[in-house]
Amino acid sequence: MEYKNILTTCPFCGVGCGLNLQVLDGKVVGVLPAKTHPLSRGSLCVKGWNAHAFIYHKDRLTQPLVRRNGKLVETSWDEALDLVAHRLSESKAQSGPDSIAFLSSAKATNEENYLLQKFARAVIGTNNIDHCARL
Ligand code: SF4
């Protein structure tokens, strides 16, 4: 039997509490608060305590979906990302960078949100970037 704790960030809100995923034989089986995390200091709300519950849920999407003939079908990450890159380039070329907008999420980490605004501004060239916490 192999057991380990993996330190990560709670995915449920912008507070970003630290938690340890309890991994038993390669499977996440629970959550423990991270005592040394500078923000949460060993505390979690009920969502954080259950942050592992969705990982193996049968309804969880684990593959990207693309619409083909009006139906969503599974595809590979390479194909999905190529399609997104192609469509973003096409829109930018045809209608300019401000034809594109990005909406980020409190369920992403601060670092991921930073990267999305950087991508919007530096790669696409638009300031059309917002965040669900402002909705
Ligand atoms: S434990 Fe609760 S307060 Fe902390 S990040 Fe998760 S959802 Fe937010």
> Using one digit for the tens of pLDDT, what is the confidence trace for 32-56?
999 999 999 999 999 999 999 999 9
CB of 45 closer than 6 angstroms to any ligand 1 atom: yes
pLDDT, tens digit, for every residue of 87-100? 999 999 999 999 99
44 shares a domain with 13: yes
Task: Tell me what the pLDDT averaged over the chain comes to.
Answer: 94
pLDDT value of position 109: 80
Q: Which of 10, 113, 132 best tests ligand 1's pocket when mutated (most atoms within 8 Å of CB)?
A: 10
Q: Which of 40, 41, 46, 107 to mutate to test the pocket of ligand 1 (most atoms within 8 A of CB)?
A: 40
Domain tally for the chain? Answer: 3
pLDDT at residue number 132: 81
Note whether 91 and 101 are same-domain residues.
no
pLDDT, position 105 = 87
Specify the pLDDT at position 91.
Answer: 98
Distance CA 135, CA 131 (A): 7
Integer CA distances (angstroms), 110 to 15, 56, 128, 135, in order:
9, 25, 18, 18
Q: Are residues 91 and 66 in the same domain?
A: yes
pLDDT of residue 135 exceeding 80: no
Considering the domain boundaries, does residue 20 fall inside one? yes
Q: Are residues 45 and 65 in the same domain?
A: no
Domain interval for residue 134: 97-135
Residues 90, 123: one domain?
no
The reply to whether 88 and 101 lie within a common domain is no
